[in-house]
Amino acid sequence: MFRLWGKIWKDNRMLRDVVICDDSEDTRTHKVLRALEQVCLKFDLSQPIWLDSCIREFKRSSKTRFRQDSFIEEIGFDFLEIQVVEED
């Protein structure tokens, strides 16, 4: 089971969160990208851009934050954080 936790933060408070589960036999990268897409659908957000800093942070700790510079449109929160909480 693969699970990814998506959280929206503003002023050091978590406003919303969702956990996306994936039982497919796909690669980890595909699972992460598909889960991020589902998180964005749940929160009614556009897909963030994976900046180099986000990629480095995610590779290091299986967690990253997408701030305003990762989004094309204006966001009403400080950042979207994703974190892998379970991998098979």
For residue range 29-62, list pLDDT tens digits in order.
999 999 999 999 999 999 999 999 999 999 999 9
Instruction: Give the range of the structural domain holding residue 11, as residue numbers without chain letter.
Output: 2-86
88: confidence class by pLDDT, cuts 50, 70, 90: confident
Q: What is the average pLDDT across 10-39?
A: 97
Look at the chain and report how many structural domains it folds into. Answer: 1
DSSP string over 3-45? EEEEEEEETTEEEEEEEEEE-----HHHHHHHHHHHHHHHHT-
Task: Classify residue 13 as exposed, middle or buried by CB count within 10 Å of its CB (0-12, 13-18, 19+).
Answer: exposed
Is residue 1 over pLDDT 90? yes
40: nearest Cα among 1, 11, 77: 77
